[in-house]
């Protein structure tokens, strides 16, 4: 008989994070929006009625208890950095204030790819469990080699061996389809080998995992919000900002039991891909167990499905002025 012994200190301790009841993303902005003169006042003004409806819905779910709600805005500084945070932050906060809103947290999309020697995107990829596809003949390499993830069985490759007929075409099939398939194939990064450029869909999935407090690196929570000493002035580059910048002293926690995102319709396909990705992510088990237990304790119901904790409001594109 053999026995294995391990010091308790050898097992990474899972860091706990504080939770709000709900995290509401008020906007997601590309650099081109900001350089192109996006009407931030108009954008925030149209968000307010939907934000109020979301708050009212949560209040009905928990009558008599004031809900803890935090708000956030995502800036895409991963694919370009055309305008400085010193120019953007004051405009953004003034626009929110004029609409009767406030922004508790500002996040950088590049931090979903890499921050402080950690790649949250890589952490998410390590937790992927691709859906098994019935009848898969193995002609396609696995996701971790190709960077492509689907929600079912792809169309088989049209190959044949010598002296054999060409294999008849077969359609792709969605796993667990309800009569008809909605097949989706998502590119997670490129190129297949070498330094990866992460796709928007994967970064958006990472963003949801961060907001739900479900990512860990050796037990540590990445991208913990930080305050910035604004008395010294705002930095000229986005890389000088924390991954998640806390803008308000009285903000409720960044991570939440549930998330809502109020987005332009242009993000519809990206967020559809996020559903495919997160539907095949097995999050850090202790972080998920903590999320489920604590939300149950606060009367928010038991939802151990990640997708069941994510909601959206899709608005017609406002564009630039």
pLDDT tens column, 245-291:
999 999 999 999 999 999 999 999 999 999 999 999 998 999 999 99
Can you give the pLDDT at residue 1? 46
Cβ atoms of 256 and 70 within 8 Å: the answer is: yes
Reduced to 3 states (helix: H, G, I; strand: E, B; else coil), residue 211 is helix
pLDDT at 14 over 80: yes
Q: Which one has a higher pLDDT value, 269 or 60?
A: 269
User: Taking the CA of residue 105 as centre, how many other CA atoms within 13 Å lie in the half-sphere pointing to its CB?
Assistant: 28
Contact 228, 242 (CB under 8 A): yes
Band of residue 213 on the pLDDT scale cut at 50, 70, 90 = very high
Q: Is the pLDDT of residue 233 over 50?
A: yes
Residue 93: predicted pLDDT = 95
Element containing residue 98 per DSSP (H, E): helix 85-98
95: which 2 tokens?
Answer: 């626009």
Question: pLDDT tens for residues 84-97?
Answer: 999 999 999 999 99
Q: Which residues of 260-271 are buried (b: 16+ CB within 10 A; e: fewer)?
A: bbbbbeebeebb
Residue 212 above 80 pLDDT?
A: yes
Residue 292's H or E segment, with its range, is helix 285-297
Query: Which residues is 262 bridged to in the sheet?
Result: 313
CA distance linking residue 33 with residue 29, whole number of Å:
6
pTM: 0.89
Other CB atoms within 10 Å distance of the CB of residue 31 = 19
Residue 52 reports pLDDT greater than 50: yes
pLDDT of amino acid 137? 57
Burial (0-12, 13-18, 19+ Cβ within 10 Å), 109: buried
Residue 320: per-residue pLDDT: 46
Average pLDDT of 61-83? Answer: 90
Q: Would you say residue 197 has pLDDT above 90?
A: yes
Per-residue pLDDT, averaged over 232-248, amounts to 92
The residue extents of the domains of the chain are 14-124+199-315
Q: Which residues contact 241 (CB under 8 A, 6 or more apart)?
A: 85, 106, 108, 228, 235
The C-alpha atoms of residue 243 and residue 275 are separated, in whole angstroms, by: 23
Say what percent of the chain tops pLDDT 70: 88
pLDDT category, 119, cuts 50, 70, 90? very high
215-232: per-residue pLDDT in tens? 999 999 998 999 988 777
Query: 5 pLDDT exceeds 70?
Result: no
Maximum Cα interatomic distance, the chain, rounded to a whole number of Å: 77
Q: Give the bridge partners for 23, in sequence order.
A: 70, 259
Average pLDDT, the chain: 88
Residue 62: pLDDT above 90? no
Sign of CA dihedral 254, 255, 259, 264: positive
The pLDDT value recorded for residue 175 is 87
Rounded CA-CA distance 47/33 in Å is 17
Query: Does the pLDDT value for residue 56 go beyond 90?
Result: yes
In this predicted structure, what is the pLDDT of residue 64?
78
57 Cβ contact list (under 8 Å, min separation 6):
none
Top-confidence range, 61-70, 86-95, 154-163, 172-181: 86-95
Instruction: Indicate the pLDDT class of residue 158, thresholds 50, 70 and 90.
Output: low
- Please identify which residue in the block is written with the tokens 């332009």: 264
Helix/strand/coil for 115 = strand
146: part of which helix (H) or strand (E)? helix 143-146
pLDDT at 217: 93
Kindly state the average pLDDT of the residues 105-121. 95
Termini Cα distance of the chain = 75
């Amino acid at each position: 008989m053999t026995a294995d012994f391990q010091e308790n200190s050898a097992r990474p301790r899972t860091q706990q994070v504080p939770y709000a009841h709900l995290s509401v993303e008020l906007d997601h902005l590309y650099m081109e929006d900001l350089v192109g003169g996006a009407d931030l006042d108009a954008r925030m003004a149209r968000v307010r009625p939907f934000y109020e409806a979301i708050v009212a819905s949560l209040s009905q779910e928990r009558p008599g208890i004031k809900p803890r709600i935090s708000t956030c805005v995502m800036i895409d500084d991963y694919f370009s950095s055309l305008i400085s945070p010193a120019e953007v932050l004051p405009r953004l906060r003034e626009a929110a204030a004029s609409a009767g809103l406030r922004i508790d947290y500002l996040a950088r999309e590049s931090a979903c790819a890499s921050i402080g020697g950690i790649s949250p995107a890589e952490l998410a990829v390590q937790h992927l469990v691709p859906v098994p596809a019935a009848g898969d003949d193995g002609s396609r390499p696995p996701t971790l080699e190709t960077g492509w993830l689907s929600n079912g069985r792809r169309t088989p490759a049209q190959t044949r061996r010598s002296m054999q007929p060409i294999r008849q075409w077969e359609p792709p099939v969605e796993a667990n389809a309800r009569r008809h398939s909605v097949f989706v194939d998502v590119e997670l990064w490129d190129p297949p080998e070498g330094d990866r450029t992460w796709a928007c869909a994967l970064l958006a999935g990472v963003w949801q995992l961060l907001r739900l407090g479900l990512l860990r690196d050796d037990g540590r929570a990445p991208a913990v919000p930080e305050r910035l000493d604004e008395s010294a002035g705002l930095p000229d580059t986005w890389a000088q900002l924390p991954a998640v910048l806390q803008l308000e002293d009285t903000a409720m926690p960044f991570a939440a039991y549930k998330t809502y995102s109020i987005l332009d319709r242009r993000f519809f396909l990206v967020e559809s891909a996020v559903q495919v990705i997160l539907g095949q992510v097995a999050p850090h088990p202790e972080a998920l167990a903590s999320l489920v237990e604590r939300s149950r304790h606060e009367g928010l119901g038991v939802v151990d499905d990640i997708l069941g904790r994510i909601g959206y409001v899709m608005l017609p594109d406002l564009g630039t002025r």
